[in-house]
Amino acid sequence: MAAWGPLCTQFHDADQPLAPQTEVDWYLERLPPGDEAVLEVMCGSGRLLLPLLDLDVNLHGCDSSPAMLASCEARLEDIGYETTLFLQDATTLNLPFRYRAAFIAAGSLQLVVDPHAACTALERIRAHLVDPGLLLLDFLVPDVALHPPGAPVVEARTLPLYDGFKIAHRSETFVDVDGRRIDVRSRYEKRTGPMILAREDETLALTWYTEDEATALVADAGFRDIRIEPSPFADRRAQRRFAVSARIG
């Protein structure tokens, strides 16, 4: 079961279409000034990319989900914006540009569950940075990681879509504290009344880091001047959030 397919993308676009202004401002305050491009890795459908472009940040994006990138492209077209987007996985990142800064928002790096693969992703990002070479990462420690449930957690939600249809999401969350892993199995259904028009199954995994572990991960990827910062993101599902800033030299 693949993650981030078309129905999953529609659900997340309806649930969180754009980043809140507080999160946008956090990045604006930290990104280095200048006209050189910045890269958002794992940009999804543009939740943060679109409002930053609206504030004249020269921003490129990349993501491994064709459905998410297609949505991002369509949303850009709807508002008359253009930017450069790449369909690439963070662990094999190989782009024709270099950037003054890069970031991964909303804890997305933690979707790369294997720490060695996560370190590889950070190394690939580092290879694309030039002075001042700023890296910004957002991390979360989910509440279920610190207070694991005795059984899988089942959640269900239904959201209206712009086209008048509805999309339902049912998920089961499994927590392995010893393995530092959360697995989420989801089903999305697009509906009109009682009729199911489309169905999509998805599975994704998530890991987590403490502040010290995140610092070590970033250092192992060759970054320096590593600092723990307040997180830009508010999430009811996270027991603790923090951000990391670092530089290439």
Residue 28's H or E segment, with its range, is helix 21-30
What are the pLDDT digits (tens) for 19-63?
999 999 999 999 998 889 999 999 999 999 999 999 999 999 999
pLDDT score of 73 more than 70 = yes
Residue 40 included in any domain = yes
Same structural domain, 54 and 42: yes
Share of the chain above pLDDT 90, in %: 84
Same structural domain, 180 and 221: no
Q: Could you tell me how far CA 193 lies from the centroid of its own chain?
A: 32
Q: Can you give the residue range of the structural domain that contains 156?
A: 144-206
Least Cα distance to 122 among 197, 195, 223 occurs for: 223
What tokens were used for 50? 């679109």
Residue 51 included in any domain = yes
Residue 157 included in any domain = yes
Residue 12's contacts (CB-CB under 8 Å, 6 or more residues apart) are 44, 45, 47
Cα dihedral across residues 241, 218, 97, 109: positive or negative? negative
What are the pLDDT digits (tens) for 191-229?
998 899 999 999 999 999 999 999 999 999 999 999 999
Same structural domain, 148 and 227: no
Same structural domain, 131 and 228: yes
Same structural domain, 195 and 218: no
Residue 188 included in any domain = yes
Same structural domain, 181 and 213: no
Domain count for the chain, please give it: 2
Give pTM, 2 decimals: 0.94
Same structural domain, 45 and 137: yes
Q: Which CATH number goes with the domain that contains 189?
A: 2.20.130
pLDDT band at 146 (very low <50, low <70, confident <90, very high): confident
Q: Which CATH number goes with the domain that contains 74?
A: 3.40.50.150
Same structural domain, 21 and 86: yes
Residue 116 included in any domain = yes
Same structural domain, 168 and 243: no
Question: In degrees, to the nearest 5, what angle opens at C-alpha 114 toward C-alphas 112 and 119?
Answer: 80
Same structural domain, 153 and 77: no
Same structural domain, 158 and 235: no
Same structural domain, 137 and 148: no
Residue 1 included in any domain = no
